[in-house]
A and B are shown apart, each in its own frame.
Chain A
Amino acid sequence: MRNLWIFISRYNAFFLFIIFFIVGIYLTVKNNSYQRSVTLNSSNEIVGTAYERLNIFKRYLNLGMVNDSLAAENAKLKSQLLGLTTVDTTKDVKVVDTVTNQQYTYLAAKVVKNSITLRNNVMTINKGTVDGIKSGMAVIAPQRGVVGFIRDVSAHLATIQSLLHKDTKISVTLKKNNALGSLVWGDGNFDIKKAFVKEVPNHIKMYVGDSVVTSGYGSFPAGILVGKIINPNVATNDNFLSGELNLFTDFSTLQYVYVVKDKKAEEQKALESLVKPNE
């Protein structure tokens, strides 16, 4: 016991340091909200990861039950399929927009070649002139999100100039205040999950989490969800606002796309070509 006291008093500087240091850290973490939140969150993360690991084992215990429910669902789907086998799934699906009396038709196509790593990405789909595809048609993703434009068409195949291309510019609006902007990708940021809305007028206020939808002024139908604003007010050199958004389209796992056929596209183009550029 005496030796212990001698040891402690000999290195008292170190032991006092430990005591005061712990008190200091305790005060810091207890009284500063940011530091406290970091400490709590990291400990929550540890607990969460532990639960996740446990969940992997738990899933195996439920395998029997999951199998049964999957089998039942399979049987139900199969019986439904019998009634649908006569329908040709590659035929056009008609969507009649009764509000503006416009008629868009969507054609499903399979992506046969995709590229996401280049500056200018082009993908290929398995539908061509035979299926009525023309250059300049809009292409959208299955659930939500835009893909790009048809670029060149052959008899049975077509190439898409995807959004991940320096010449692709899609007219979009911010959902909250209907402000117009242009959707572009890759201006100093080559993340395939992010893009920019540019050329938004300066007096518009952008909100984080606001949805960006297509405006309907180009070949895209109006109101197709494009993404969510994550970073409003990105600094640019021009007199317009820019915002960064998360794209809903996941280009890396894209397998099927829809080509949008606009029945009035040619009529619109012909009409608008009558207006001379410098009138």
Chain B
Amino acid sequence: MNSRIIIVNVIRWFLLLFVQIFLLKNMGFYDLSTPFIYVLFLLLLPFGIPNILLYLLAFGTGLTLDAFYDTMGVHATACVVLAFVRISFISISLNRDAIDDPEPALSYMGFQWFSLYAFLCVVAHHLVLFFLETFRLTEIGYTLMRCGLSCIFTLLIILLVEFIFYRRTPR
């Protein structure tokens, strides 16, 4: 069981980063909306993961992305913020002892919980990402617009992927 989770996550990591780097990197609407689907990997890490490992994975994933995007540290920081939001949201919304689902996926948690969870994480990630990228407050309107539109795009794709890989499990 344990090794299965690891293998699934490793495959997911490679798949999502491959799609992100080779497909979605070249996509974008008028330089306004760019999807960052790779955050789905961090969203779907199992519940039982230790915090330190989560942060290390987030940082490492971010750094890998940075290497391909030539933006050293920007994605890493954004991913770390996402990890913090993830931990906070899970500890607030769920009872730690009563969790018997393996991972926070749509098929286990239901649409309402998962969409709120994904929304908060993605918004936090994108805000940090775009503001670190722009690194000035004078273009705040444009940055916020880019951020908002990208959030919508990313969330749309995340929900799409989750519905495609929906597993009907007895709840």
Contacts and interface: CB of A to CB of B under 8 A. Distances in A.
A17 B81 CA distance: 7
Given A12-B51, A27-B72, A38-B135, A21 B80 contact: yes
What secondary structure prevails in chain B residues at the interface with A?
Answer: helix
B74 A28 contact: yes
B71 A32 contact: yes
B114 interface: no
B55 A31 contact: no
B80 to A, nearest CB: 4
Interface in B16-36: none
Contacts, number: 65
Given A13-B84, A13-B88, A14-B84, A32 B73 contact: yes
B120 to A, nearest CB: 15
B15 interface: no
Contact of A31 (B72, B80, B83): B72
Interface string B31-67: 0000000000000000000011001001100100010
Interface in A6-32: 12-14, 16-17, 20-21, 23-32
A256 B35 CA distance: 60
B73 A17 contact: no
A190 interface: no
B87 interface: yes
Nearest to A14: B84
Interface string A25-45: 111111110110010000000
A24 B62 contact: yes
Contacts of A38: 135-136
B158 interface: no
Interface residues of B, number: 24
B132 interface: yes
A13 B71 CA distance: 26
Contact of B74 (A17, A21, A32): A32
Contacts of B52: 12, 16
Contacts of B83: 17, 20
B84 A27 contact: no
Contacts of A27: 66, 72-73, 76-77
Contacts of B72: 27-28, 30-32
A16 B55 contact: yes
Contacts of A17: 55, 80-81, 83-84
Nearest to B84: A17
A38 B136 CA distance: 8
A8 to B, nearest CB: 12
Contacts of B77: 21, 24-25, 27-28
Nearest to B85: A17
13 contacts: A16-B55, A17-B80, A17-B83, A17-B84, A20-B58, A21-B81, A24-B59, A24-B80, A25-B73, A28-B71, A28-B132, A29-B73, A31-B73
Q: Closest 3 interchain pairs by CB?
A: A24-B77, A27-B73, A31-B72
Interface of A: 12-14, 16-17, 20-21, 23-32, 34-35, 38
Given A20-B83, A24-B76, A27-B77, 4 more contacts: A17-B84, A28-B77, A32-B73, A38-B135
